[in-house]
Amino acid sequence: MYLKKQLLFFLFCTLISCKNQEENPPLDSSLEKAEQLYSNKEFRKAYYHYNQSFLYNQNENNTKRAVYNLLRMAHIESIECDYIGSEATTTQAIQLFNKSIPVAYQTNAYTSLGLNYLHLANYEEAHKMFKKSMQITDDSLTVYIAKNNIAYSYIKQKEYKKAIYLLSEVENEKVLQDSPLDFARVLDNKGIALFHLNDLSALSYLQKAKAIREANNDNSQIVSSYVHLAEYHQNKDVKTAKLWAEKAYHAATKAFIPDDRLEALNLLFTTTTNNNLKNEYHHTYIHINDSLQKARQQAKNQFAKIKYDSEKAENEKTAYQYKMYAFIALLILSIAIFILLYRLTIQKNKRKILETQYATETKIAKRLHDELANDVHNTIAFAETQNLENEQNKETLLENLDTIYQRARNISNENKQINTGEAYVEQLKHMIHSYSSEKINVILNTAALHDIQLKEEVKIALYRVLQELMVNMKKHSESTLVAIAFKNLPTTIEITYSDNGKGVENQLQVKNGLQNVENRIFSINGNLTFETEPNKGFKVKFSIPK
């Protein structure tokens, strides 16, 4: 029971020190909520939000704030008697220590470990941690408190003379005396050690500690003094011991300290001779102890589940991001391969075709940069900054990836290799009809193309010219009707394209917008004419050699 009263106050104070150092930077929403719950002593609820804040700050590489959250979590675990969990959490915080971590955080961590080892009866490791906290600080009060902690561990090991020697070293230090409650702990611990050695001065130390605590209205520490006085009188004056035990029980009940209530009940049980009262004390003890153990076990399970769920969510998020990055990388690689193959292909063509295809490549690159690359960048940024556990965010991410896929597919279809064999006419028809929609009606007559033998470069040029016209129509003309007709002449094939769109202002605008069309026709020794007026549609007629 006494361990928390004697030692945890220092841990609490260093945590407050940590908090004060955290006040200048703005708190993230999780930490702000956690601090509110902690101040209201809703520790289990606070634990969840501290963990959320830890994960957030860890991802943001804010190590100082991440360590702060871990120390808070370890403190809550210790309050709930989950000492093994607290040890693990504190060790995790220590592993993150770097030059940015304040000494107050570090002394807090090593003191926390020392307390956990004391609870687990690992006194050797507890001594190491308390000494470590003394080595890294130049604050004399912190050093004296650490020595008090070590002295208390000697008391737990029944090495009372060692405890008295160490406490005698610090009890007259002015810095300690100027901190009344810390001074009271030293006096109380020395009184306990002297009591176990049957030293008559023990009562004086215990009474001095009690007086200081009562003067400072420290309810939790007052309970400890009452219990110690009851123990002191237990074998000397049973009635006096029972009075102190009753005071301890009422004070612990008022302060909502179940451990102290149990200790006081145990003393009441041993100091009373009334069997009815003994039964009542025993029943109450069993009831409180069972409830307390059940609550603490629930807390341990809750803390473990919070950590497990968080770790699982982080792993799933990481795996999901890896898959997404792999998908995007594969997509980009496919586009890069496509561009490379495209470059190799255009090197085999004529100079005029090279100029035309260079312009096409520039256009593709611009689309990749302005459309696809921006979409990829925005999708990556969304995945890195949003909570992918949220179903709506997952859905948004999948929609973004589908948009990227469709854009890449459209670019690929517009520039894929053309089959110039027997399936050429069907492929050409399929390409043209792919621009049909509920708003756009395409009328196509390809009868003249059947049974005509065209050179491969002529087929490619014809396909790309019509594709360019259809793309231009869909993007700019606002047409609802498109007609394309082929006419078989003795030495040429004549193609007429027309739509009912908004047309263009002048011939210069036509040439600038459809330069690739003109270049391709001229590259195969063809000719073309444009017929257009504003708001009267667009028409182009061109002929190509057989």
177: helix, coil or strand?
Answer: helix
531: helix, coil or strand?
Answer: strand
Reduced 3-state DSSP string for 94-110:
HCCCCCCCCHHHHHHHH
Task: Answer yes or no: CATH 3.30.565.10 is held by domain 424-545.
Answer: yes
Would you say 202 and 189 are in contact if contact means Cβ atoms under 8 Å apart?
Answer: no
Name which of 500, 496, 495, 460 is nearest 480 in CA terms. 500
Name which of 37, 40, 374 is nearest 53 in CA terms. 37
498: helix, coil or strand?
Answer: strand
pLDDT at 305: 82
CA distances from 302 to 305, 342, 352, 392, 440 (A): 5, 59, 73, 27, 61
**What is the spatial distance between Cα 86 and Cα 43, in angstroms, rounded to a whole number?**
14
Both tokens of 98, joined, read 């770097």
Strand partners, 445: 485
**What is the spatial distance between Cα 335 and Cα 393, in angstroms, rounded to a whole number?**
27
**What is the spatial distance between Cα 275 and Cα 183, in angstroms, rounded to a whole number?**
40
**What is the spatial distance between Cα 487 and Cα 1, in angstroms, rounded to a whole number?**
103
Q: Look at the block and give the residue holding tokens 């001229």.
A: 522
Q: Which residues of 239-278 are buried (b: 16+ CB within 10 A; e: fewer)?
A: eebbbbbbbbbebbeeeebbbbbbbbbbbbbbbbeeeeee
Both tokens of 129, joined, read 């941690």
User: Mind listing the pLDDT tens digit for each residue in 264-314?
Assistant: 899 899 988 888 888 888 898 888 888 878 877 887 788 888 887 777 777
* pTM of the predicted protein model: 0.54
Would you say 151 and 191 are in contact if contact means Cβ atoms under 8 Å apart?
Answer: no
pLDDT at 518: 87
DSSP 351-394: HHHHHHHHHHHHHHHHHIIIIIIHHHHHHHHHHHHS-TTSHHHH
Low-confidence stretches of the chain (pLDDT beneath 50)? 1-18, 21-23, 349
**What is the spatial distance between Cα 459 and Cα 546, in angstroms, rounded to a whole number?**
10
**What is the spatial distance between Cα 341 and Cα 467, in angstroms, rounded to a whole number?**
20
Sequence length of the chain is: 546
Would you say 465 and 517 are in contact if contact means Cβ atoms under 8 Å apart?
Answer: yes
Q: Look at the block and give the residue holding tokens 């909520």.
A: 33
pLDDT at 102: 92
**What is the spatial distance between Cα 268 and Cα 256, in angstroms, rounded to a whole number?**
18
Pairing between β-strand 481-488 and β-strand 538-545 as defined by DSSP bridges: unpaired
- End-to-end Cα, the chain, rounded Å: 103
Would you say 214 and 179 are in contact if contact means Cβ atoms under 8 Å apart?
Answer: no
Task: Answer yes or no: CATH 3.40.50.300 is held by domain 2-216+279-308.
Answer: no
296 class by beta-carbon count within 10 Å (0-12 exposed, 13-18 middle, 19+ buried): middle
How many C-beta atoms surround the C-beta of residue 349 within 10 A? 16
Q: At what angle do helices 258-271 and 275-346 cross, to 10 degrees?
A: 160
DSSP type of residue 60? T
What's the one-letter identity of residue 117? Y
